[in-house]
Structure 1
Amino acid sequence: MRPENHNAERTPSAMERLARQESVLVMSDLNTASPTDIAAAGVSSALARAIALWQPYRCWDDLLLVSEIDEIVIDQLRQGGFEIGKPNDAAWVVPKPFKLSAA
C-alpha cells in the first residue's frame, strides 16, 4: 500500500492537459453570445448588455459604434475567446410598413 501525501502537487494527466488546451482553443461567436457570456470576458455587465442588444456584428469595427466601446474592450473580448461569426442574414426581417392613426 502506497502512502498518500495530500500536500504534494499532483501532475495532470495527459487527458487533463488536453482538455485544458482544448478549452483555451474554443472560440465563442459574439453574435450569439448572451450578456452573461460577454461579461465573463471581463467587461462590465452594462456594457455586455449593450453589446448583446446590438447583435449581430459583421466585423470588429461594428462594435466601435456601440457607446463606450474602444479598442481596449475589443482586445478584451478577443482575449476572452470571442470571434465575430457570419451573421445569419435570413434571420433579419424587413420591417413591415405601418400607418399612424390620428386618434
Structure 2
Amino acid sequence: MKSKMLAVFFAILLAVAGCSGSKSPQDQLATIDKLLAKGFEMTIPQSKEVDKLVSEAKKLMAAGKTDEASKLLKQAIKVLDFAEEADRYNKSE
C-alpha cells in the first residue's frame, strides 16, 4: 500500500514539474485556488504548510522576487496535489 502511494506521489511530482515549469506566479496562485476549491481533505500540517508557502510567496512577489515566489508556489502545488491524491485514495477504500 505504501509503495503504491509513493509511486503515485512521484508520478504526480513528475507531472507537476512538467506542467508548471513556465507558469507565472499569478498562474500558480490560480492553480492553487482551483485545487483548494475542490474541497478535498488535507491534514492540518499540509494545510499549514500550504498557507505558509503561499503567504511567503505573496510577500516575495510584492518585493519583486518572482523567481523565488514561483519556487514556493510550486512546493505548495505539490503538497496540494499529494493531498488530493491521498484523499482520492482514502475514499476509494
- Would you say same fold, with TM above 0.5? no
Normalising by structure 1, we get a TM-score of 0.27
More contact order relative to length (CA 8 Å, sep ≥ 6): 2
Report the structure, 1 or 2, having the larger helix content.
2
